[in-house]
Structure 1
């Protein structure tokens, strides 16, 4: 028998698909072909595998070699198939044990000298192998820590092809080579960002806590120097720590981005792209393989768009679908990829291009048409998806010079947020939702916890006058439920409905 099989993983977004790598020898003119919809990088594996095997002392048979990647209809991208192609061809020639490689998933790129190089996306690839029932995976040494984050899988990390061959029964000397190092991990900058540093913005701090407790989207508008960015960067610090499952989801997206993942981080991520960022950089994608954009990297965390009105209209409108569905779909001619995108959106913008419109004592030099055009940079449908629209004014000089920060620290606010989320989770335990911002509007309006007519009256009047859309109506209800949770009340009353309407429409301090 001259056929051998092993397994690799093809990634489409964060979804991994097991690929059977099948090698066959035939008594014809020596040749080496890879079939099964490979891309350019995968097609070049022929030369990498040939040289790596030769330099590892594992000569390929001088016969016609055909490697099939099945299913053939699934696009395969990148160099992560090199190791599986090499071991299947060596096993077809009788140098490796066919039974051994058949129960193992191989992931890794080969260098011409036979060393194994790290590849991106190892974490979701090992997840896919585990879900498919495989319990043994071989990865490059540099990806070992990342692969071991998946429980229940035997991870073997190798520095060279020869080392892998010996594990599968080859009689070859394992050279003493230095493992190829992965890129340096992205340093985690430890910043001491505490709500106690915020001066004179009690209503903005409370709005930040409400947003964190319910998972609500927030727009901060106001003049330069009012503290919008300062407030926004403190939102991740009052969010609850990620669960292990959520941290694994975040790590999988980071792995696909090419970052080195060595441990699970329970801190919610914060993504803050520059206002010159294109729609493609926000959404993600690529010509051959899909890479996550800023929207996906903010999954389970915060996407902060500073100077939101300066972003392109196309980039801003790209947010609308993931805000509703919690996922982002990337469509290209050759593939469709889906990334998780359940994040909190935090926008900050000035009232006009110069920033002084409506500010007491300041002179606005913008013509009326420019002010109107600037205000409409955020489309109506996007604004309608924002739960809290808060106007932030500059702090008075006497309060700023007094140096008195907020009496509420981030740790105390985080405890309030945690308690409110526990109450919401207990209330929605029989439903698919856990946070108030996720609850279906139809369920809130018509379900078992529908509010009494007298409590809903201000909302009903606003809807009849056209001051609220039906989506806005639902978002006010969600805000009111979050306020009730923060106040340890069983359900919202007129006070919570009024405050929610106040935050929804915007307020001036």
Structure 2
């Protein structure tokens, strides 16, 4: 047989479209051609595959070899095609049986010795295989180092292999004991060693605001002088977030799998990303000639902490507006388009003025009112409108700083957050922050007195419809933390105080 057909996967954003690897051997002068829009890494497979086949003690056929990666209009990148190409050459030349190839999908990068190296996106490829409308899903043969990641998809059959020889032995074996053993390890969540909220002295009002944010998936902006604990509080925030659902954990792991930065020990842990304020817009949202996820997608189902918010370039900050609303980011390049999830919780921190000490009880601010306005104007009104809680982190007195920390443990706060989150899932199947405008009418109807208070606040502060909706969602979360079905005036009043406009603080 001079033709062999195998199945593998490519990567296109979060998708893993199927790719058919066709290998044909023909008479003529020896040649090795790969067609089907291969990028440089795929073209280099010719040398890796030739050396791997020869070092595995197989014969590399001295014939005209043509490898077609279909569909032809889908760009192919990375070394994951090495294994199916090598197997296709061996099957087409009759060195391994070709009859059972249709029951498998293959991916793996080959070393020159024939060993298999891990590949990016193993989880995304496995997830795509599991979603196929088929009664008999193909088994996925891939490098052993990628198996723990791929096994997070429970319905998939994962066959890990250490080398090209192992795969060939499996395909040629007639006895079960000679075949590859399916990877059965169940994923276990490692203990997350987040810093504890008890370490933060004072700041009870800020801790309360962060508890509300964690319970309802709300975004937060903390403003305060240097050294008041803004970064400490943000670093401890992931420790009070509710448990991830299976779907959330799988989505977060899939994004990190695309960059090769995921391992099984991170399973069910909320991502925490803290990019520097010199980061570009591409670093934040993703991009490149082959689109890769940026920081906002790597923070999917977790926390994105932006310290020194006004120091970011304004154009960089403006790219946050769309994903804060939609939870997705669409990247378009001349030849490639990709969409990545970006459902993150934004925790931002800033100083109130250029010198940092505006409003400090003991240090005099040297900034003029015009300087303060220009500094705070770096954060646009539309972006500020999308941040649910805007709070002040006050400077502590010397007496408070010298006291022993005596606040609540993160575990105690997390128990309340977990109960409130479960209440939301039972009622509406999602966190309060994700409620649509139609769902607000069903789940966020305040009492008559509270409705009157909301109307007064809207008139006084000239709120937009978005601001009004976010206050209602915030009040709904406060009521959930209090185990109350109805939104009362007390809940709404607390929500209103968190909608502070920075310019009014000057």
If the length of structure 1 is used for normalisation, what is the TM-score? 0.90
Secondary structure at 1:393 match in 2: coil
* Cross-structure match for 1:391: 392
State the Cα distance separating 1:361 from its structure 2 match.
2.6
* Cross-structure match for 2:456: 461
The reply to whether residue 140 of structure 1 matches residue 143 of structure 2 is yes
**1:182-261 alignment to 2 at 5 Å?**
191=193, 193-261=195-263
* Cross-structure match for 1:334: 335
Give the one of 411, 435, 438 matched to 1:439: 435
Secondary structure at 1:81 match in 2: helix
The reply to whether residue 364 of structure 1 matches residue 358 of structure 2 is no
State the Cα distance separating 1:136 from its structure 2 match.
1.0
Secondary structure at 1:505 match in 2: coil
The question of whether the paired residues in 2 share the 8 Å contact of 1:6 and 1:88 is answered with yes
State the Cα distance separating 1:143 from its structure 2 match.
1.7
The question of whether the paired residues in 2 share the 8 Å contact of 1:424 and 1:436 is answered with yes
**1:13-24 alignment to 2 at 5 Å?**
13-24=13-24
The question of whether the paired residues in 1 share the 8 Å contact of 2:444 and 2:487 is answered with no
* Cross-structure match for 1:157: 160
Residue ranges of structure 1 left out of the alignment (5+ in a row): 172-187
**1:42-441 alignment to 2 at 5 Å?**
42-132=42-132, 133=134, 134-169=137-172, 191=193, 193-263=195-265, 265-287=267-289, 289-406=290-407, 408-429=408-429, 434-441=430-437
* Cross-structure match for 1:182: none
The question of whether the paired residues in 2 share the 8 Å contact of 1:145 and 1:263 is answered with no
CA distance in 2, matches of 1:376, 1:193: 33
Give the one of 486, 489, 494 matched to 2:481: 486
* Residues matched between the structures, number: 485
Change (3 A) 1:358 1:492: same
The question of whether the paired residues in 2 share the 8 Å contact of 1:389 and 1:505 is answered with yes
**1:29-40 alignment to 2 at 5 Å?**
29-40=29-40
Residue ranges of structure 2 left out of the alignment (5+ in a row): 175-189
The question of whether the paired residues in 1 share the 8 Å contact of 2:211 and 2:240 is answered with yes
Change (3 A) 1:69 1:108: same
State the Cα distance separating 1:392 from its structure 2 match.
1.1
Change (3 A) 1:67 1:457: same
State the Cα distance separating 1:419 from its structure 2 match.
1.0
Secondary structure at 1:357 match in 2: coil
The question of whether the paired residues in 2 share the 8 Å contact of 1:136 and 1:154 is answered with yes
CA distance in 1, matches of 2:444, 2:353: 42
Change (3 A) 1:189 1:306: farther
State the Cα distance separating 1:241 from its structure 2 match.
2.1
CA distance in 2, matches of 1:324, 1:260: 27
The question of whether the paired residues in 2 share the 8 Å contact of 1:463 and 1:470 is answered with no
Secondary structure at 2:79 match in 1: coil
Secondary structure at 1:314 match in 2: helix
- Between 62-71 and 161-170, report the one with greater CA deviation: 161-170
The question of whether the paired residues in 2 share the 8 Å contact of 1:313 and 1:377 is answered with yes
Change (3 A) 1:50 1:303: same
* Cross-structure match for 1:496: 491
Change (3 A) 1:353 1:189: farther
The question of whether the paired residues in 2 share the 8 Å contact of 1:87 and 1:101 is answered with no
* Cross-structure match for 2:4: 4
The question of whether the paired residues in 2 share the 8 Å contact of 1:21 and 1:69 is answered with yes
Secondary structure at 1:54 match in 2: helix
- Between 205-214 and 18-27, report the one with greater CA deviation: 18-27
State the Cα distance separating 1:366 from its structure 2 match.
2.6
CA RMSD of superposed structures (Å): 2.1
State the Cα distance separating 1:449 from its structure 2 match.
5.2
Secondary structure at 1:168 match in 2: helix
State the Cα distance separating 1:124 from its structure 2 match.
1.1
CA distance in 2, matches of 1:200, 1:264: 32
The question of whether the paired residues in 1 share the 8 Å contact of 2:447 and 2:487 is answered with no
Change (3 A) 1:142 1:334: same
The question of whether the paired residues in 2 share the 8 Å contact of 1:6 and 1:103 is answered with no
Secondary structure at 1:484 match in 2: helix
CA deviations on 1:483-504 (whole Å, 9 max, x unpaired) are 1111111111111111111111
